[in-house]
Structure 1
């Protein structure tokens, strides 16, 4: 019974609790048997924990010899005060000595005697550098900041397109093949003069976008259907657009469809049907909730702005007075209206991701609006774009430039139909600012005439011709109230 109640002993140095008891007595501490046993077991557990952690460091270092450095790392990880002293990198040298008359051999480590003065004058070892890291902006909203960590624009421009990472241009030219052919020509001509060494050539691996056969077949079929002008395939076109709008597995094809749209818009500006189809493709991709379109907004905006502000869309028409000319102009303006709707959608959905997108687009639209050399369609598209930018842009940007725009653009147009289209578009923009009178109800109508002072203020703000057009409208007072909101009492 007594032997069974004893605490089981292990085979480590501390397992006989006498060692702990002797150490306690040397310090003047009197421990009971139970306390000595428990303390010995705890010390044994701590030693095992330190050794196991040190062995992990040894194995991670691909070594089979446990060093004092591993023990130090283990103590540091376990938040234990390290052992101070010198790490002996040299192998230990053991010496033997005979003890007593029996001739028992004792092995001991020969401690080298070091002079204190020599130790004091010895140079301190270098402090190891701690692992540190720094962060910098590689690009902010697609613009690379000019900081020492980033390459300068001159260095980037001096590199060939293949090294910069471009694989193809917007027109579909294969830069990689062109670069490869150029390199082959240089190699062939240079081999006649001197041998090309490994130092002269630098081979970089090319990362290719791998598509499955099903996706390739799908892309080819959709492109073929979208470009077809066969009336019998109209139903297939609608199915293809519906697939682009709803299918969830098309994210890998997004850059290919955007490149396809850009190529068609660049090369088919005379074909109204193709341009309308390309806008439908952009609309379908933008409406697909499973596609993450944020990284491709910078590629979509040139396509939309091109169809909104391009000089010539569709067939050339010089006379807009006849029916054919008016019909062609209406189709031209319909494409621009569709582009303006898509522009508004992109601004609303992705404006939060690109904080400068709205400001940059507004600047582009205003520049096109004030350019008197641009045709009617460009001015119409600019007005539509500014209208869809919101009331704040209309009031702060458009109204302040209407007087200058009318004098430089409208006065130079000889066609009455085109002039009427642009003025109606301006009236639509101003109509967005209207503020209804809160006193108006179904039973009571508050309708007072506009004072002469207010008319003169309006003429001074937007110009006399446009002021007369505003006064002809039924809700002219509501529009004037919106124009002068917070400035005058209307």
Structure 2
């Protein structure tokens, strides 16, 4: 019996016959069986290697169909010259043709091109290699008008609720109903002002409108924000309401993952402070909210400090906090002063923690406090707030900004104030001047009275009213030395 020929390939095509046919087409008719067998095995190995690499590209592209692009990339990795002439954009149509001896031949049905038309067509642009460029999605919350970002006309066509506006995401339907129930006079006034604005804006064609950044919150964060606002807005003395309020503040102090809600809480705080200056309970709650956000170590607050400072300064320097009507009840005054002292402590915390990153923070705050202190038309609450604000800025600020202005301020403002206001301001100033003793390494054991010359010198420096009040203190000599510390005789 004739010995069976071993199987040399597991493919559907005959590798030996194929190699011989190719060799005949190249004029190599004397190729023996052993050589063709080895060539067929090597060709089959190379084809398997190319297919394995191409399948990797197909899988990484999340596809189930192998394309000619995958084959070209596989050839490029294997340092083989890639194929040309295959258009991936359209499917390849294979047709069948019969050749001699009943053999079937498959070929690609390609369209015929006019050679003259092909020559006269302009050459296509050379494809550029893939590269990466960086651009700003947003700068300080505003998208720059560059080709990579959406156009202004496209953004205007999007509904406001889909733009990610703060008021549209977090405002409930009731607020829209309240805004729709305005009186007809207000509507007429607003429409008239809008017409005036539109007339003036049409003439200014060079005005650049910066689109809003799309900022979409998840439903969980929206629910959390609404629950916290509801708990903080409830000012009832019910035990359940107080527990919810404390739980909300505790969550703000410790929970991570609240970065996206920081600007919303800051805007909520500023709105509540602006519209509820007569409600001490809400103002105290807003200060506790700011303190809780500042205490959370998981939140990066550096970009939002300049948005928090106005709310704190408002409660520190506002003209009137609490009830509008004047009342001699001391409890209202104590609560009103307590809110200002709480705001000053928050201001001190912010300046100590963030002044290293923002070198202009303390000078700007000091300038605002000094301006409020020197304004003779300001009420007692604003002056008291400016004094305790300058106190937390440090002894150096007190020496350079406060001591030189005390005499003129005492003559213009302090001497004309009521007896009750004088007591409050003098007590506050004495505490500030007593803090200057820390610059001197002196003890408070010895009580020495001021001489007439020292009292006159002190009066020329800070005014008669303040000098008399300081002379009645036990440590008047130490306060005197602290005020004139470093002065040349």
| TM-score bin, normalised by smaller chain | 0.5 to 0.7
Structure 2 residues without counterparts, runs of 5 or longer: 29-33, 188-213
Structure 1 residues without counterparts, runs of 5 or longer: 186-204
TM-score, reference length from structure 1: 0.57
Q: For 2:14 and 2:355, how far apart are their aligned partners in 1?
A: 70
Q: String of CA shifts for 1:444-475, please: whole Å, max 9, x gaps.
A: x9x9x99x9xx99x999x76779968894515
Judging changes above 3 Å, is the alpha-carbon distance between structure 1 residues 180 and 298 closer, same or farther for their aligned structure 2 residues?
farther
Which one of 52, 56, 68 corresponds to residue 55 of structure 2? Answer: 52
Q: For 2:137 and 2:284, how far apart are their aligned partners in 1?
A: 39
Q: Which residue of 2 aligns with 1:340?
A: 344
Displacement of 1:399 in angstroms is: 2.0
Q: For 2:370 and 2:276, how far apart are their aligned partners in 1?
A: 26
Displacement of 1:371 in angstroms is: 2.6
Contact 1:317-1:325 within 8 A present in 2 as well: no
Q: Which residue of 2 aligns with 1:190?
A: none
Q: Which residue of 2 aligns with 1:227?
A: 236
Give 3-state SS (helix, strand or coil) of 2:135's partner. coil
Q: For 1:327 and 1:58, how far apart are their aligned partners in 2?
A: 72
Contact 2:55-2:70 within 8 A present in 1 as well: no
Pair 1:167 & 2:167 matched: yes
Q: String of CA shifts for 1:299-341, please: whole Å, max 9, x gaps.
A: 654443222111112356879xxxx477654443232112211
Contact 1:380-1:422 within 8 A present in 2 as well: yes
Contact 1:365-1:382 within 8 A present in 2 as well: yes
Contact 1:459-1:467 within 8 A present in 2 as well: yes
Contact 1:270-1:314 within 8 A present in 2 as well: yes
Judging changes above 3 Å, is the alpha-carbon distance between structure 1 residues 14 and 358 closer, same or farther for their aligned structure 2 residues?
farther
Q: Which residue of 1 aligns with 2:421?
A: 418
Contact 1:98-1:106 within 8 A present in 2 as well: yes
CA RMSD across the alignment: 6.4
Contact 1:434-1:480 within 8 A present in 2 as well: no
Which one of 391, 399, 406 corresponds to residue 387 of structure 1? Answer: 391
Which one of 371, 374, 377 corresponds to residue 378 of structure 2? Answer: 374
Instruction: Say which structure is richer in helix.
Output: 2
Q: Which residue of 1 aligns with 2:400?
A: 399
Q: Which residue of 2 aligns with 1:72?
A: 72
Q: Which residue of 2 aligns with 1:138?
A: 138
TM-score, reference length from structure 2: 0.57
Give 3-state SS (helix, strand or coil) of 1:341's partner. helix
Give 3-state SS (helix, strand or coil) of 1:306's partner. helix
Judging changes above 3 Å, is the alpha-carbon distance between structure 1 residues 274 and 125 closer, same or farther for their aligned structure 2 residues?
closer
Q: String of CA shifts for 1:129-170, please: whole Å, max 9, x gaps.
A: 546443216233x6x4877689999xx99x998778242799
